[in-house]
Amino acid sequence: MTPSEKQLPHWADKCFKSIDNRFWYYLIPKNASISFRSIGLFESNVWYPTEQMPPDAVTILILRDPFERLISAYQWDCKNPFEDLGGVIYSFEMYLQRLTKGLFTHTSVPQIDYIRSRNIVLEQVTEIMTVENLPVQFEKFKNKYGLSSCALRFSNTSDLHAKNALRAKLLEPDNRQIFERLYKEDIDLYNLYKKQI
């Protein structure tokens, strides 16, 4: 299945850039993107084609545990059902079944497809961070580039009880099998970079 069949949004091949054009951020939905864009470095809500990126740009990519990302995507899609779901709120099991039919939302598209849509060579990305370690990694990033005025504030509004209930549902054998099949490449990618960071 190609990325376009998984409903990549129109901006999937674009980036955010800093005002001074030094930093370029490859956004992947549900990977702390609102928090990271709010650090005081990037132009707000302005997308730039990757072709405009200077060769010496500091590129940034944030990965997320695919298990946690899918739960977050489902919660987002339930709060915003008109965006990708035609106004219908699905049970978690029905949501997973939709994904098996290739009916991804822009938040549930695998991370690897966002990476491919931009022709990103991971070995050439300057800074790869993970959501799970972002506070520590952001401090290192900030110190490395002399960005003392930047601050990271997480915008987590999820209900922990609901999240735990979804985690339990996703761990059910049938659901877990579907998840692992659909997100195998994301799981492998995350595990590779989780060890390196």
How high is the pLDDT of residue 113? 93
Q: Compute the average pLDDT of residues 67-77.
A: 94
Total count of domains within the chain:
1
What is the pairing mode between strands 14-17 and 48-49?
antiparallel
For the chain, the average pLDDT equals 88
Q: What are phi and psi of 161, to 5 degrees?
A: -60, -45
What pTM value is reported for the model?
A: 0.89
User: Sheet containing 48-49: which strands, arranged edge to edge?
Assistant: 48-49, 14-17, 23-26, 58-63, 127-130
Residue 193 has pLDDT above 90, yes or no: no
Q: For residue range 12-33, what is the model confidence (pLDDT) as tens digits?
A: 778 999 999 999 999 999 999 8
Tokens representing residue 21 in the block: 């054009």
How high is the pLDDT of residue 81? 79
Tokens representing residue 195 in the block: 């060890």
Q: Compute the average pLDDT of residues 96-115.
A: 93
User: Which letter does DSSP use for residue 42 in this model?
Assistant: B
Residue 57 has pLDDT above 60, yes or no: yes
How high is the pLDDT of residue 5? 46
DSSP calls for 101-146: TT---TTTS-HHHHHHHTT--GGG-SEEEEGGGHHHHHHHHHHHTT
| Cβ burial 27-43 (10 Å sphere, 16+ → b, else e) | bbbbbbbebbbbbebbe
Q: For residue range 77-90, what is the model confidence (pLDDT) as tens digits?
A: 988 877 777 788 88
Domain interval for residue 60: 3-196
Q: For residue range 132-176, what is the model confidence (pLDDT) as tens digits?
A: 999 999 999 999 999 988 998 876 666 788 888 999 999 999 999
